[in-house]
Structure 1
Amino acid sequence: MSKNEKDPQVAGSEAHARSRGARLLVVGGGIAAVVVMVVALVAAGGAPERAPDGLLGAGLPLSWAVPGFRLVADGAAIWVAGAALTGAWLLPATALKVCQDAAIVAGVWAVASIGGLVASAVVILGIPLSHLGEHAAIAGGLTQVRALAVVVALTAVLAVVLSGVRTVRGARVALGLTAVALIPPLLTGHGAIERTSIWSVTATASLVLHVFAATAWIGGLAGVLRYARDRAAVERFSTLALGCAIAIGSTGLLTAEIHLGGRADGWALITQWVTTGYGALVFAKAVAFAALVYIGWRHRRSTLPRLSTGNPAAFRRLAATELILMAATVGLAVALSRTP
């Protein structure tokens, strides 16, 4: 056996350790995202409230289910996008493996979107779940419900496509379909309230680019951490991450300025960052973004050179920390989308 070949038992042990580490990271990231989302919603005034006396309403469990399903869907979307990106560009040799893994997660994305569709319908209409059948026609006309219905259809197709991927070209098709599936919910958020306003159109376009960049950054890092074993893939991701960071920073600032009404007066923007719940969450996201940029700088300065020496431990530790922070930021983003 040459020195570059590993004993099968050792290789199997390493694969088991990586799989276990991935599961622990998913659990840790999920906990961080949920905790941050709940705290942010409560602190910023976006948490669901009980219906006034005399009104039935959807109930608190279903009201909380709306951001909950959104968080699960966003997490699944990031995982799927990261897998497709890994197979399509970062590590083409893994296209078959990563896409078949992602097919199951695409199914989770579809199921979470169905849950979000039902919960959103009853919350918007202000009715108990048991009455939804009576108002199905009205629910079907809601913009948010239609958007989620499109996502359900797209993700169902995506799951089938991913399960059949055998080539890099197939991974690229799956990546494109994933990008399309991300768009519908973004067209019903804060930036889409007044479509006649040039600022609303700008905010929506900025949000789409922002989400694309964030999804590629987080998903790409998860992909290389889970599947990559050499520096080449990590170097490609590092280049991608730099572009994503620039896009996230610029679009985040633009979107915040538009929503906070600060385009005419810079001081008013700064004031609203600290006097409104929405502004406080935007500020918290900015702090988290700055921390992630610092971690990315540490990667380039310290951990990437160590990969060349065959010592990936430092990179994996820092990347795991980075992913936990990213997961918390996703929870913050979900809370932001539900905050007035």
Structure 2
Amino acid sequence: MGAETSAGSPVRGRGRLVAAGMVAAGIVVMVVALLAAGGAPKPLPAGLLGAGMPLSWSVPILRFVADAAAIATGGALLAVVLFLPATDGKLGTKALRACQDAALAAGIWAVASIGGLVTTAAVILGIPLSHLAEHASPAGQLSQVRALAVAVVLTAILAVVLSGCRTVRGARWAVLLTAAALTGPLLTGHGAIERTSVWSVLATTSLVVHVFAATAWIGGLAGVLRYARSREAVELFSGLALVCAVTMGITGLVTAEIHLGGREDGWGLITQWVTSGYGALVFAKAVAFAILVLVGWWHRRTTLPDLATGDPATFRRLAVVELLIMAGTVGLAVALSRTP
């Protein structure tokens, strides 16, 4: 047991280092994107009372942490359900460890959602955090706050379910809970402003599918890298990643076209891409997506054959690079959701 623990410690240490690098990369990209595209919080004129810059900046940062934790939760669960073997429906040692990691990630997701709920309410109402209790009633009427409250409840339940999960059936129920917790906050973003609009419904639906595909792609790669680097698991993930990439490409184009106004004017989409901060971020995200597709193609061309010969080092190195790019893409997505 001692040898196993000592052997596993460097692996866990590398995993924590990669996770920390992803969080740092994502937050840096998010902050730069918000500043460049005009979505960053603006200081109030002197003498006006408001939420304050630190609180305003905490909203996108907490959103990124919640998104990263959601991806980690989904990735660990995908590993349990798809990549790790079970005996008579009961989870093995690696799958149990993945469930515990998912429970921890879900707990972080819940805490970040609580923070996001409180800070979002204060920023929207334009009041310091110390005055929020006095405005609890109007805060409760905000659609964003209600959606985050539902996410808090679902993620807290998810963390409890995962902490006691011992079977494949329990893991599948956890996947459904994860999907429900992901969906709620998406219904109050750009695409949900005009619920009577057909375009709004299409944009919201496209966004939900886009986020599901991104969670499966990014989380799935992290899950394979951490729990199941066998050739069979990597080949299975490779097929899943291809489906996710195609789905993300289509839904990303649909959502961007709707929000940038291309449905009303044939030249509208091109004009908005060139002249708006939102369009610039869409373009940056498209470039990042193209790079990820290229890396995925390189995986199929080089790392799978190397893995077949028993050499996982190339796969690990390229997967880490891919995860860091993915983290930056998540940072761009958060910035995009907060850019007019």
* TM-score, normalized by the shorter chain, greater than 0.5: yes
Aligned with residue 30 of structure 1, among 18, 23, 38: 23
Q: CA deviation at 1:13?
A: 5.1
**Partner in structure 2 of residue 55 of structure 1:** 48
> Within 5 A, what are the aligned runs for 1:205-216?
205-216=205-216
Partner of 1:64: 57
Give the residue type in structure 1 aligned to 2:168. V
Runs of 4+ in 1 over 4 A off after TM superposition: 11-14
Q: Percent identity?
A: 71
**Given the two structures, how large is their TM-score scaled by the length of structure 2?**
0.95
Partner of 1:96: 96
- Residue 231 of structure 1 corresponds to which residue in structure 2? 231
The aligned runs of 1:1-340 (5 Å cut-off) are 9=3, 12=5, 14-92=7-85, 93=92, 94-340=94-340
Aligned mates of 1:56, 1:109 — CA distance in 2? 30
Q: Deviations over 1:174-194 (max 9, x none)?
A: 111101100111000000011
Do the aligned partners of 1:37 and 1:331 also contact (CA within 8 Å) in 2? yes
2:88 aligned residue: none
SS at match of 1:287: helix
Q: Matches of 1:85 and 1:238 in 2, distance apart?
A: 13
Q: Secondary structure at the match of 2:229?
A: coil
Q: CA deviation at 1:14?
A: 4.3
Tell me if the contact between 1:41 and 1:47 (Cα under 8 Å) persists in the aligned partners: yes
Render the CA deviation track for 1:43-99: whole Å, top value 9, x for unaligned.
Answer: 000000112233201000100010011000000000000011110112244321101
* Preserved contact between residue 95 and residue 165 of structure 1 (Cα < 8 Å): no
Which residue identity lines up with residue 179 of structure 2 in the other structure?
Answer: A
Between the aligned partners of 2:182 and 2:188, the Cα distance in structure 1 is 12
State the distance in 2 between where 1:15 and 1:111 align.
28
Contact 1:186 1:208 in 2 (8 A): yes
Note if contact 1:139-1:145 (Cα within 8 Å) is conserved in structure 2.
yes
How far the C-alpha of 1:12 sits from its partner, in A, is 4.9
Provide the TM-score with structure 1 as the length reference. 0.95
Q: Which amino acid aligns with 1:110?
A: A
SS at match of 1:51: coil
Q: Give 1:4's aligned residue.
A: none
The CA distance in 2 between the partners of 1:13 and 1:313, in whole Å, is 20
CA distance in structure 1 between the aligned counterparts of 2:129 and 2:13, rounded to whole angstroms: 39
Specify the code of the residue in structure 2 equivalent to 1:171. A
Give the whole-Å Cα distance in 2 for the aligned partners of 1:264 and 1:95. 50
Q: Is the 8 A contact 1:95 1:167 kept in 2?
A: no
Note the residue ranges of structure 2 that are not aligned, 5 or more in a row.
86-91
- Return the alpha-carbon distance in structure 1 between the equivalents of residues 118 and 135 of structure 2: 12
CA RMSD of aligned residues (A): 1.3
CA contact (8 A) 1:192 1:200 kept: yes
Distance 1:20 1:108 in 2: 19
